[in-house]
Amino acid sequence: MLAGGDLSHGEIVACDVMLCGAVPTGKALRRDGAKPGDRIYVSGALGGSALGLATGKGKAWKRHLHPEPRLALGTFLRRKLRATAAMDVSDGLSLDLQRLCLASGVGAEITTPPRFPGATSEQALHGGEEYELLFTVFPGTRVPPFFEGVPLTCIGTIISSLAGSILHDGAPLEALGYDHFRK
């Protein structure tokens, strides 16, 4: 066992694969570039994986078992839209948005994101394993409504506020989701 303990536990043995790579200086799409006034977007509809995990059936279950990473969209965001910050939604929108805001030293004000059919607002806000993209763009950037058939939806604005604070429809939103280091 590692000195600090393991990151996860379970009844069966599992194996993870990790890949490492490099990006030329100044070419990475990072989470620490959001500025007040930037618009916040998400790709796709959220909550499908959480719904699939809860029900174990249908399109939601398929989405949970076979997520589709948005690699081409990431390239488009960097090259064409000049996104100011971006990351995937793997641990829950609220928690991942908080991480983006903490890295950028800002807060956020959002509305409920687009939901996967049948998913609750809670699943859309806090469910993980989505692998959709959360990104910010300069005010006035023309973001297309779709990229390769995937909806791109504006859900809010980056604000000058306590770093990591999130308002959802005007009320504070607790950052819930999967935290690898929570006991």
Question: What's the one-letter identity of residue 138?
Answer: F
- Per-residue model confidence (pLDDT) at position 14: 77
Residue 126 CA to residue 93 CA, distance in Å, equals 6
Closest to 55 (Cα-Cα) out of 117, 147, 134: 117
Residue 16 CA to residue 75 CA, distance in Å, equals 26
Q: What does pTM read for this prediction?
A: 0.87
Phi, psi at 123, each rounded to 5°: -65, -40
- Per-residue model confidence (pLDDT) at position 1: 46
| Tokens linked to 35 | 């500025």
- Per-residue model confidence (pLDDT) at position 146: 98
- Per-residue model confidence (pLDDT) at position 6: 54
Beta bridge partners of 147: 150
Q: pLDDT tens track of the chain, all 183 residues? A: 445 555 566 788 877 788 888 888 888 889 999 999 999 999 999 999 999 999 999 999 999 999 888 999 999 999 999 999 999 999 999 999 999 999 999 999 999 999 999 999 999 999 989 889 999 999 999 999 999 999 999 999 999 999 999 999 999 999 987 666 665
- Per-residue model confidence (pLDDT) at position 11: 83
Phi, psi at 118, each rounded to 5°: 90, -15
| Tokens linked to 179 | 């935290």
| Tokens linked to 33 | 């570039």
Q: Could you give the domains of the chain?
A: 39-172 (3.90.650.10)
- Per-residue model confidence (pLDDT) at position 61: 95
- Per-residue model confidence (pLDDT) at position 4: 52
Closest to 108 (Cα-Cα) out of 95, 92, 126: 95
- Per-residue model confidence (pLDDT) at position 127: 93
- Per-residue model confidence (pLDDT) at position 17: 83
Residue 94 CA to residue 121 CA, distance in Å, equals 11
